[in-house]
């Protein structure tokens, strides 16, 4: 059962999928309609999930589930990933590339590069520890609301690109 993203509690489980390039126009509309249709029927052990999605910066699909209402299962997570793969095939939009780093460029637009390229940009001074990056590994809706999804690189795992042997900031 699809609900509003704002209605999800901070404890809701979260998955974030990032598009390698901006998604706009008819492609954006079809993508979101397809996601909405999936969420309407998404279940775990035949129980409807209270699920929501958010779409940010023409790049990020956030899918959250209120596990207090009904918990997700391995099969339901597999169904989500399978649905995103089908969405990729139908739309031509890549959403499952976990090797991309997303950041705000000097023009404030979201850019994406490979992890190796991000390290090269860091060494060249193109991006800095203050550069706003997107941490697509956050796992709870509350993390997004608390500003941990988009934060300075120095406050995320991206800091490793700037400091040799840097540990993940806490």
Q: What is the pLDDT of residues 41-61, one digit of tens each?
A: 998 888 889 999 999 999 999
How do the domains of the chain map onto residue ranges? Answer: 5-91, 100-161
Q: 170 pLDDT exceeds 70?
A: no
Distance CA 147, CA 67 (A): 22
Strand partners, 18: 60
Contact 65, 141 (CB under 8 A): no
pLDDT band for 164, please (50, 70, 90 cuts): low
121-134 pLDDT per residue, tens: 999 999 999 999 99
Q: 149 pLDDT exceeds 60?
A: yes
Q: 168 pLDDT exceeds 50?
A: no
Q: 135 pLDDT exceeds 60?
A: yes
Q: Provide the pairing of β-strand 150-152 with 132-134.
A: antiparallel
Average pLDDT of the residues of the chain: 91
Can you count the helices (H) and strands (E) in the chain? 4, 9
Contact residues for 4 (Cβ-Cβ < 8 A; gap 6+):
52
- Output the pLDDT for position 70: 75
Q: What angle (nearest 5°) sits at the alpha carbon of residue 167, between those of residues 162 and 170?
A: 110
For the segment 1-12, the average pLDDT, to the nearest whole number, is 94
The fraction of the chain above a pLDDT of 70, given in percent, is: 95
């Amino acid at each position: 059962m699809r609900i509003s993203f704002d209605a999800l509690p901070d404890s809701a489980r979260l998955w974030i999928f990032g598009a390698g390039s901006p998604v706009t126009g008819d492609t954006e509309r079809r993508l979101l309609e397809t996601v909405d249709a999936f969420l309407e029927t998404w279940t775990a052990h035949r129980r409807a999930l209270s699920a929501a999605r958010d779409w940010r910066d023409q790049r990020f699909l956030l899918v959250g589930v209120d596990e207090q209402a009904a918990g997700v299962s391995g099969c339901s997570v597999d169904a989500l990933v399978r649905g995103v793969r089908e969405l990729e095939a139908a739309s031509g939009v890549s959403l499952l590339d976990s090797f991309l780093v997303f950041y705000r460029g000097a023009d404030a637009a979201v850019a994406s590069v490979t992890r190796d390229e991000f390290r090269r940009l860091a060494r060249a001074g193109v991006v800095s520890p203050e550069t706003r990056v997107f941490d697509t590994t956050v796992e709870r809706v509350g993390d997004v609301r608390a500003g941990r999804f988009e934060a300075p690189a120095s406050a995320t795992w991206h800091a490793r690109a700037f400091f040799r042997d840097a540990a993940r900031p806490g």
